[in-house]
Amino acid sequence: MPRTLSIVQIGRGQVGSRLVAQVDAARAAVIEEWGVDLRQAMVAGRDDGPDPGAILERAARTTPPPRLFVDATAAEGMAPVHRQALLAGFHVVTCNKKPLAGPLADYDAIQSAARTAGRFYLFEVTVGAGLPVIATLRDLRDTGDRVATIEGCFSGTLNFLCTALDADQPFSEALRAARDRGFTEPDPRDDLDGQDVARKAIILARAAGLPVEAADVRREPFVPVDRGEEREGFLRRAGDHDFALRERVRAAASRGLRLRYVARVAPGEGCRAGLTEVPDDSPLGRLAGPENVFVFTTGRYHHHPLVVSGPGAGPEVTAAGAFADLMTVVRAVARGGNGAPEA
Ligand SMILES: NC(=O)c1ccc[n+]([C@@H]2O[C@H](COP(=O)([O-])OP(=O)(O)OC[C@H]3O[C@@H](n4cnc5c(N)ncnc54)[C@H](OP(=O)(O)O)[C@@H]3O)[C@@H](O)[C@H]2O)c1
């Protein structure tokens, strides 16, 4: 008899719906290989109720352990819900960066709930989508390496825009293409004001053991963003930025340089993110489309840094990254008990 792992998921948008389909397609193979039956007990959207905490409470009453909570929303205010899930005995996989990048006290409370409850709290796809970025950082730290800097292009969306601008495409057209392909955040202003990159820098910094707050990140927006207006109004006026960005890209190109949105995390220096001119034949200048690159310079990887790169956005690869986190829980459940992480 296979063991059943009950999955309670909130969010069934681009990533959430792909995750449901991927889990469904792999279900028989996971039973065969691991003896664990992935049962999608609940896949909730906003129309199931406005309060994710209430949805979770309902799920906690109706699903037996071992159980897993998946946050595939971009909702605000989810930190207490993640904590509540862990304390109710759920493992947690999150695609949502916000609970990890808010006040440090919320982050610490989540990590402490995971330790107290003995449950996994997994967040690989919050940085670099399906790329093994958090896993790489964890392995470096677990093996006693010292991280000196993490630098690179952390946003597939902004890199997609940068390479479209290199090809002389107007910014407004490139932004529309990025939205059509599912690369942007639900509100693209989260990408354009640099907030999404800043959140990733905070998550990386915290995972590297640095106690940073949002105020410690210096960020320059990709374009000026007005939060006071409606999202659709902002998108209609995206063409207002076409000329200035085209001039900036052309001026850089005349000097053999390209514009890239570069972020840097360094102990002692804090975090920063902004449009930066880089040589067109450098690793950052050569990045194309929705690619990300993360360059880890450490005590061991000093002369030749450790580089993780590849597509850093897109619902299919993001869902696959969340599925890989889910498989970490499956392997632990297969070993017995409630799937608690090994001490
Ligand atoms: N797309 C990517 O390439 C990518 C890459 C890395 C990480 N992520 C992260 O993955 C998450 C999901 O992204 P997405 O592209 O799938 O966004 P999306 O298509 O907008 O989906 C978000 C889903 O969450 C639901 N939702 C929002 N607030 C909710 C609430 N309070 N209760 C229940 N459901 C709620 C939405 O419901 P409604 O449809 O009713 O609004 C929607 O179904 C985000 O946190 C994003 O940052 C995405």
Confidence grade of residue 176 (pLDDT, cut at 50, 70, 90): very high
The answer to whether residue 339 scores a pLDDT higher than 80 is no
Any atom of ligand 1 within 6 Å of the Cβ of 314: yes
The answer to whether residue 337 scores a pLDDT higher than 80 is no
pLDDT tens-digit profile of 24-34?
999 999 999 99
Q: Give the residue, out of 9, 18, 46, 71, with the most ligand 1 atoms within 8 A of its beta carbon, to mutate for a pocket test.
A: 46
Cβ-based neighbour number of residue 328 at 10 Å? 17
Q: Give the residue, out of 46, 73, 197, 199, with the most ligand 1 atoms within 8 A of its beta carbon, to mutate for a pocket test.
A: 73
Q: Supply the pLDDT for residue 299.
A: 97
Laid out side by side, the sheet with 67-71 consists of 36-44, 3-10, 67-71, 90-94, 121-122
Confidence grade of residue 229 (pLDDT, cut at 50, 70, 90): confident
The answer to whether residue 343 scores a pLDDT higher than 60 is no
d(CA 203, CA 111): 13
Which residue has its alpha carbon closest to ligand 1 atom 43? 13
User: How far apart are the CA of 129 and the centre of ligand 1, in A?
Assistant: 13
Give the chain's mean pLDDT: 94
Any atom of ligand 1 within 6 Å of the Cβ of 96: yes
The listed range with the strongest mean pLDDT (161-175, 182-196, 325-339) is: 161-175
Confidence grade of residue 194 (pLDDT, cut at 50, 70, 90): very high
Any atom of ligand 1 within 6 Å of the Cβ of 182: yes
Q: Supply the pLDDT for residue 224.
A: 92
User: How far apart are the CA of 235 and the centre of ligand 1, in A?
Assistant: 19
Q: Supply the pLDDT for residue 119.
A: 97
Catalytically active residues, by annotation: 200
What is the rounded average pLDDT of the residues 209-233? 92
Judged by average pLDDT, the poorest of 163-172, 178-187, 298-307, 323-332 is: 178-187
User: How far apart are the CA of 246 and the centre of ligand 1, in A?
Assistant: 31
Q: Supply the pLDDT for residue 290.
A: 87
What is the rounded average pLDDT of the residues 110-131? 97
What is the rounded average pLDDT of the residues 187-196? 92
Q: Supply the pLDDT for residue 101.
A: 98
Q: Where in the chain does DSSP place strands (E)? A: 3-10, 36-44, 67-71, 90-94, 121-122, 147-153, 217-219, 257-266, 270-279, 291-298, 306-311
**What are the two backbone dihedrals, phi and then psi, of residue 293, each rounded to the nearest 5 degrees?**
-140, 140
What is the rounded average pLDDT of the residues 266-285? 91
The answer to whether residue 342 scores a pLDDT higher than 70 is no
Any atom of ligand 1 within 6 Å of the Cβ of 11: yes
Q: Supply the pLDDT for residue 228.
A: 85
Nearest C-alpha neighbor of 242 from the set 167, 319, 170, 166: 170
